[in-house]
Chain A
Amino acid sequence: MASLDDLKKRITSVKSTQKITKAMKMVAASKLRRAQESAEKGRPYSDKMNNIILNLSNNISDKDNAPKLLAGSGEDKVHLCVVMTSDRGLCGGFNTNIIKKAKTYFKKNSDNGKTLKIITVGSKGYDQLKRSYKDNIIEKISFKESKYANYFDADKVAKIIIDKFEKKEFDVCTIFYNQFKNVITQVPQEQQIIPLKVSKIDGNSSKDNYEFEPEEDEILSNLLPKNISTQIFKAMLENSASEQGSRMSAMDNATRNAGEMVDKLTIQYNRSRQAAITKELIEIISGAESL
């Protein structure tokens, strides 16, 4: 059995760990509020963008000559996966869930004989993927310096992707991120952005007669790269809200577990203290009796 001194030390150490996790939880909670707000504020933009693209692609008459970003390169051989994770750890299953989702996708595609290329955004994703997919990773991006998700970072990622697409380095592009549902649930998502899958709003197929200035094609080819930035930005916002939410609940659990541990250790400490006292008393009494 551990000595009293050892137990005391352990209790203090668990208590100080608890202080840290508690502080992290508070920080995550306040960051979460901000991240959630910006995720909500960012939604109208991406929704509107989606609407306009939907209207445009409905109006395009010549589907074969549609911009490549919408129609795809016509082949389905090389898949580019953009795995978006956080730069910091200690956020529960946040990164692991994305990686798991991505790995299933990788496996499915490499079984079908497709070539895989991976871009990791966020250092944690790279750390987890480099073991098994080192040769597939063609780029790793990390935004450790930026405090909050911002549009310029998203734009940078989008430019890299578009650049690679124009060089015909891949045919299909999918992004992986966590969608923020609430503090406890974050749903890992895979979303194909090239060729763009326009989600049809059912029942609302009334063809609006728009006037375009300049021509549809020109607008589309200008708009599609922007849409990719927007989608990535949206994913980044959702991701940062999810990260904070996930960290908050993980740290909450850790704090609670530490509390339980302190209770248990304290009971053990008191018991052994009592045992020592009883032992000493017995010694004294039996010594006195023998006289």
Chain B
Amino acid sequence: MSEGYKIEIVNPERSFLSKEGVSEVVVPAFEGDMGILKDHISIISFLKPGIIRVFEGSNEETYYVEDGIIEFKDNCLSILTSNIFDIKKVDKSIVKNALAKAEQDVEKTDISDQKKYLLDQKIEVLKSISLN
């Protein structure tokens, strides 16, 4: 399997990334990380805060997402998200701010369990990013 498939990441403001020939993408799906290879069955799922890894041959690109939805169909992976950044290029202060905000939010008592779970995830991921 030499050829890869197409990936498109869009956020409301613009098309964030569009690439042909990726071999594997690992997405932080709601029920656990999920690796998608070529000719995967059509799937719709949504994301929790985490890291998207895009593999293109020996290249690896990593992006942080906060939420979103993915659709895979006919060897085309579309990721819709409202909050995404490239981990290598991002300003450290943005990560810190997001982390601080998440830590503040998680202290609130009036949030649902699901939200709390998502926030915990977010803090964990953001911490791991800021350490690198």
Q: Which residues of A contact B (CB under 8 A)?
A: 38, 41-42, 44-46, 48-49, 51-52, 55-56, 150-151, 154-155, 208-214, 219, 222-223, 226, 229-230, 233
Q: Which residues of A contact B11 (CB under 8 A)?
A: 45, 151
Residues of B30-86 at the interface with A, using a CB-CB cut-off of 8 Å, are: 30-31, 34, 41-46, 69, 71, 73, 78, 80, 82
Main secondary structure of the interface of B (DSSP, over half): strand
Inter-chain contact A214/B71, CB cutoff 8 Å:
no
A106 to chain B, nearest CB (A): 30
Whether B31 pairs with A214 at a CB distance below 8 angstroms is yes
By a CB distance below 8 angstroms, the chain A residues around B82 are: 151, 155, 226, 229
23 contacts between A and B (CB under 8 A): A38-B14, A41-B13, A41-B14, A44-B8, A45-B10, A45-B11, A48-B10, A49-B69, A209-B41, A210-B42, A210-B44, A210-B73, A211-B42, A211-B44, A213-B29, A213-B45, A214-B31, A219-B45, A222-B46, A222-B69, A223-B46, A229-B12, A229-B82
Which residue of chain B lies nearest to A209 when distances are taken between CB atoms in the complex?
B42
CA distance A49 to B71 in the complex (A): 10
Closest to A154 in B: B12
Asked if A44 and B13 sit within 8 Å, CB to CB, the answer is no
Q: Is the CB of B12 within 8 A of A42?
A: yes
Closest residue of A by beta carbon distance from B73: A208
How many chain-B residues does the 8 Å CB contact rule pick out? Answer: 23
- Kindly identify which residue among B43, B45, B71 contacts A48, using a CB–CB cutoff of 8 Å: B71
* From A51, A150, A219, contact of B46 by CB (8 A): A219
Closest chain-B Cβ to A30's Cβ sits at a distance in Å of 19
Leading 7 A-B pairs by shortest Cβ distance = A41-B14, A213-B45, A211-B43, A151-B12, A45-B10, A210-B42, A44-B10
Q: Does B15 contact A (CB under 8 A)?
A: yes
Q: In the bound complex, what is the Cα–Cα distance between A233 and B12 (angstroms)?
A: 8
Give the residue of A48, A155, A233 whose beta carbon is less than 8 angstroms from that of B78. Answer: A48
